[in-house]
A and B are shown apart, each in its own frame.
Chain A
Amino acid sequence: MAMGLFVAQLLTGLANAAALFLVASGLSLIFGVTRIVNFAHGSLYMIGAYVGVTLMNVLPGHFGFWGSIVLAGLITGLIGVVIEMCVLRPVYKAPELFQLVATFGVILVIQDLALMIWGAEDKLGPRAPGLKSVVRILGEPVPQYDLALIAITPFILFALWWLITKTRVGILVRAATQDREMVGALGVNQAWLFTGVFFLGSALAGLGGAIQLPKGGADLLMDLNIISAVFVVVVIGGMGSITGAFLASVLISVLNVFGVTYLPQSTLVLMYVVMAVVLLVRPYGLFGREEKAGEHGQVGEPDRPIRPFGKMGMALTSLLLLGLALVPFLGSSFAQVLIVDILIFCLFAASLQFILSTGGLVSFGHALFYGGGAYAAALLMSYADTPMEVAFILAPISAGLLALVVGWFCIRLSGVYFAMLTLAFSQLGWSLVFQWNEVTGGDDGLVNIWPSAWLSDTTTYYYFALVFVTAGILFLRHVIHAPFGYALRAARDSARQAEATGIDVRKVQWMSFALAGAIAGLAGALFVFSKGSIFPNELQISKSFDALIVVFLGGVKTLSGGIVGATFLEGAKDWLIRLEYWRLVLGLVIIFVVIIAPDGIVGTLRRLGERLGLRRQEEFMR
């Protein structure tokens, strides 16, 4: 009996692996050739599901069902081609961050387009004709469709294997995976090779979305729901490896099914723990090859030398602070609450910009430390009866210690792998908080985390936040101009020269990661006491992405970009989310900035000012 259950679950896991493998192999293929981590891959999976369900409702019978799946794949592939040609072609030469942000813009656009076309209601997938019942295996019911999926998956793996190892196209793809420039030099039209690979990868994602319809249907959340699992699969399997994607899909799917039965409280955690363990032993995944850093070029002009504020800058900053200090006398308490939100977001963004711009470390999981600080304060208040003031001080310290631990693992990698590992750790943290109901309250969060009586007044808390945010940002700015900040920049500019002149690059980066984590934790602590509560979404992927996007909007190659971007976005958000399709607008703005104005708001203004003669060109650029 127990044996029967075991086998039935194993089969369910293998069946679930089918869709996951299709999506993951597509992502892996695209990365292998174009070196682009396509965050919008989950969106293509969602499109495949929606297109499939629409077609299935029109086309009848066996032919209609399977034909719809194939058509959904082809249509998704074509949509992928459109995305590749419009959004990605202009940014192939840009650093990873630009590509990731661009594909994130695509996610937002597709979310709203899907909402426009298919509506907010979940679509139920039709069941496969002829495969509607169950088979008894060792007494346990197993859906026929699951068995069909298990039978189909090896064929897809085989077809991909054949395509890649036996055909001319496959040879080109493999050659491009190893050396893109050489393939280009040998007369292969790279642009079309990339587009072709994008078509294939997108079609695979679409197929994955359509083929899982009888099991899962189609809804608007499925893009983000699958993307983290897909990333786990691709990272475990090794970026660019189809075989790796297959093995990892099976591993993760089976693990998930058994996890649901035996460890229902930790299914999500399990996946990320496996990933972290694999990466510890094999930093580039089971079948991955080492990624050479520094492969990507520059966008726009090189980073400029920096100087602390002169008299003018100091005067303007003082004026701004004075203005902020006067707000309670002029504005409503609503304005104060809004500004506190903006200030907190600014501090969070500034801490990310510190490691991202000065350190060159593209972290995808920075929300872990923001949420970590907030939860540290909330947990201390809830369980240890810690006075608010003590909890407030311990929050950034806890976040800093957390960053010290996480950083120890992550700093060993660079580029895309560093980004992926930080993402995995933040997801690990999120799933821990989300599923550990007894302690963290799970989805219900922790509530009644209010500041002490002397701080409970809106205006008092406004000043409290203003002081700490200002202090935090000024401290980071000072560090950037101090020897430590210079060492961090040196490590980013030329790790080889830095190591050859006595700089321990890893250690410098590790310490900066911890410092950024602590400051993010401070922002988190300010947040939790301003809201009185904390929920798991404060350390979700989207929170990390928010910070990345504002740093990007503000300007990566500037010191103040994050702050300007955060003010801009948080200020606009209030107005923006009143629009029905605000994601579409934001997504298009992001894509626009990536392609047209990669210097961001601050960088573009600086250049514009210089061109118009309003601002003197800095002397060291002459």
Chain B
Amino acid sequence: MTAVLKVTDLVRHFGGIKAVNNVSFEVAPGELRALIGPNGAGKSTCFNMLMGQLKPTAGKVFLNGEDITGRPPREIWRLGVGRTFQITGTYQSMTVAENVQMALISHNRKLFSVLPRAHRLYREEALDLLETVGMVDQADRACAILAYGDLKRLELAIALANSPRLLLMDEPTAGMAPRERINLMQLTSDIVRDRGVSVLFTEHDMDVVFAHSHHIMVLNRGELIAEGSAAEVRADARVQEVYLGGGTLFAAEDAHA
């Protein structure tokens, strides 16, 4: 089976700094894979290159075997990649359902249509997606008055609107309460199982990572230093060096959480 996402020798320089250096990996269909690492390790840079927000200095990104390196975000989305952001980006002036409908309108290429009423278009599909993330009871509320955890779930529903084969989630649980984190990751796991989507996510909360990921990659100073199952990564000497060697990092993470 070919990989959904294949990254080969990805490099990104900012001036003299090598933010991401020769990173290669693959994401298999139906896999829930985590990308972890301390602050400044290059996780977000990596993500931004996968999604087209940032052009790599070198290296290639393949989606289902197709080279998508350097394509704009909206084209990559059309090829079946959904994304959620570290800081949520939702449409404040729309209702919850309309936020999802907007993505469905885009998916069905009706963006420039001036005839139908948008708030009735694809409403049923939008409600189904909201059902998936447990937001259907809030479908007609204004997005501007939602709680933060609900915004995160809404964003997930939006990301699912074009039935993606790959979901990229940048720190999906950042800023959430512990209970909400567990719920959201459980939800993500369910989606992976039910829909056969692959998920690649970055995360700071190690409990979340070790509890839910099928496969973990550790990034440090722009380079992949280890990967494997939760147990393997936990046992890896270099990972321990990065996270425990300084003696503060895990503690800092815990304090942060």
Contact = CB atoms under 8 A, between A and B. Distances in A.
Interface string B70-81: 001110011000
A497 B102 CA distance: 11
Interface string A495-517: 01101111110001001000000
B256 interface: no
Contact of A501 (B103, B121, B141, B144): B103
B114 A305 contact: no
A508 B93 CA distance: 17
Contacts of B102: 486-487, 490, 501, 503
Contacts of A503: 74, 102, 106, 111
Contacts of A306: 93
A303 B93 contact: yes
Given A482-B116, A484-B111, A503-B111, A497 B90 contact: yes
A185 interface: no
B158 interface: yes
A316 to B, nearest CB: 20
Contacts of B94: 305, 486, 489-490, 493
Interface stretch (A65-73, A198-206, A614-622): A614-622
B162 interface: yes
B119 interface: yes
A484 B114 contact: yes
Given A305-B95, A487-B105, A499 B74 contact: yes
Contacts of B117: 308, 481-482
Contacts of B51: 500
Given A487-B111, A499-B73, A481 B142 contact: no
Interface in B112-127: 112-119, 121
Interface in B123-171: 140-145, 158, 161-162
A307 interface: yes
A502 B118 contact: no
Given A497-B85, A620-B140, A621-B142, A483 B91 contact: no
A622 B140 CA distance: 10
Q: Which among B85, B101, B105 has the highest number of chain A CB atoms within 10 Å?
A: B105
B89 interface: yes
B90 A501 contact: no
A621 B145 contact: yes
A495 to B, nearest CB: 9
B144 to A, nearest CB: 4
A485 interface: yes
B118 A305 contact: no
Interface string B54-92: 000000000000000000111001100001010001111
A289 interface: no
Interface in A347-372: none
Contacts of B105: 483, 486-487
Interface in A419-445: none
Nearest to A508: B111
A502 B162 contact: yes
Contacts of B13: none
B29 to A, nearest CB: 22
A303 B94 CA distance: 8
Most buried by B among A305, A481, A489, A493: A305
Nearest to A488: B111
Given A483-B116, A620-B140, A497 B158 contact: yes
Best-surrounded residue of A478, A489, A492 (most CB of chain B within 10 A): A489
B88 to A, nearest CB: 8
Contact of A307 (B73, B114, B119): B119
A460 to B, nearest CB: 30
Given A304-B93, A483-B113, A484-B114, A504 B142 contact: no
Interface string A460-493: 0000000000000000001101111111011011
A482 B115 contact: yes
A621 B85 CA distance: 25
B91 A494 contact: yes
B72 to A, nearest CB: 7
B195 interface: no
Query: Which of A307, A489, A497, A504 has the most chain B CB atoms closer than 10 A to its own CB?
Result: A497
A331 interface: no
A155 to B, nearest CB: 38
Contacts of B161: 501
B214 interface: no
B106 A487 contact: yes
Given A302-B93, A500-B89, A483 B73 contact: no
A500 B115 contact: no
Contacts of A622: 141
A306 B144 CA distance: 13
A484 B113 contact: yes
A235 to B, nearest CB: 28
Contacts of A308: 117, 119
B98 interface: yes
A117 B116 CA distance: 58
A36 B101 CA distance: 37
Contacts of B121: 483
A518 to B, nearest CB: 13
B238 interface: no
A486 B118 contact: yes
Interface string B213-232: 00000000000000000000
Most B CB within 10 A of own CB, among A478, A486, A500, A508: A500
Given A481-B117, A484-B114, A508-B111, A493 B92 contact: yes
B53 to A, nearest CB: 8
A621 B105 CA distance: 24
A500 B93 contact: no
B91 A497 contact: yes
A486 B98 contact: yes
Given A486-B102, A501-B74, A511-B112, A481 B91 contact: no
B110 interface: yes
Contact of A500 (B74, B110, B113, B144): B74
A489 B91 contact: yes
Nearest to B83: A500
29 contacts: A302-B92, A302-B142, A302-B144, A303-B93, A305-B98, A482-B116, A482-B117, A483-B116, A484-B113, A486-B102, A487-B106, A487-B111, A487-B112, A489-B91, A489-B94, A494-B90, A494-B92, A497-B91, A500-B83, A500-B85, A501-B107, A502-B74, A502-B111, A503-B74, A503-B106, A504-B74, A508-B111, A511-B112, A621-B142
Given A500-B83, A501-B158, A502-B111, 6 more contacts: A303-B144, A306-B93, A483-B111, A484-B111, A490-B94, A619-B140
**What are the nearest 6 A-B pairs in CB distance?**
A497-B89, A303-B93, A302-B144, A493-B91, A502-B106, A494-B89
